[in-house]
Amino acid sequence: MRRRDLLCTGALALPVGLAGCLGESVPVTDDVSMADPLATDEHPAKLRVETTTTTVTDYVLGERPAVQGPHVTSQDGALYLMPVHDGKPTDLVEPGCWALTEHVAVTTEYGTVEGPAGESIASESFPYGHVDAESDCLAAGDHRVGVGGRAAEDPPGLPGNDDDATEFSWGFTLNVQDG
């Protein structure tokens, strides 16, 4: 039986201050954890990202993959985070191996996530081996996921270069080990 243990470390938000921005930081925290840290022949591991707005003001965050991680590739190109739908793995992976067997089609609209004041929103993703990776399966090792986005009180500040948005970056490391 092939088993992989996954450990998530180092979730960190790093805001980038810009002239005319909302402030020196983005009022949001991200907590990354393994909802299911063990990948077995029967099921893949599952990653959970919880985003909390830490102010009394609602925020709009974009783009969606930058906020909660779905459809993001690790910096080394070995892992791909696929959103969980109905709690089941996609048909695009090889069970037990948990690597994509073909490329994933993703729409190109600029998706946003609303961050209600003082509340949390969560999403889950399956970490799969990337179809273009050198390994045929979910590769062991440390895989850094880093993303960036924009935060604003109003959606118009997000897609363009408007001064009312704050740019941010954050990331985490997934450690995949043979079990």
Residue pair 177/4 in contact by the 8 Å Cβ criterion? yes
Q: Which two tokens stand for residue 54?
A: 């830490």
Return all residues near 22 (Cβ < 8 A) that are at least 6 apart. Answer: 151, 152, 153, 164, 165, 166
Task: Please give the chain's pLDDT, 179 residues, in tens.
Answer: 344 444 444 443 333 222 222 335 667 777 888 888 888 888 888 888 888 878 788 777 776 666 666 788 889 999 988 888 777 777 888 888 888 998 887 766 667 778 888 888 888 888 888 988 888 788 888 888 887 777 777 665 555 545 667 777 778 888 888 76
Residue pair 139/14 in contact by the 8 Å Cβ criterion? no
Domain assignments of the chain as residue spans, ordered by start = 4-142
- Judge if pTM exceeds 0.85: no
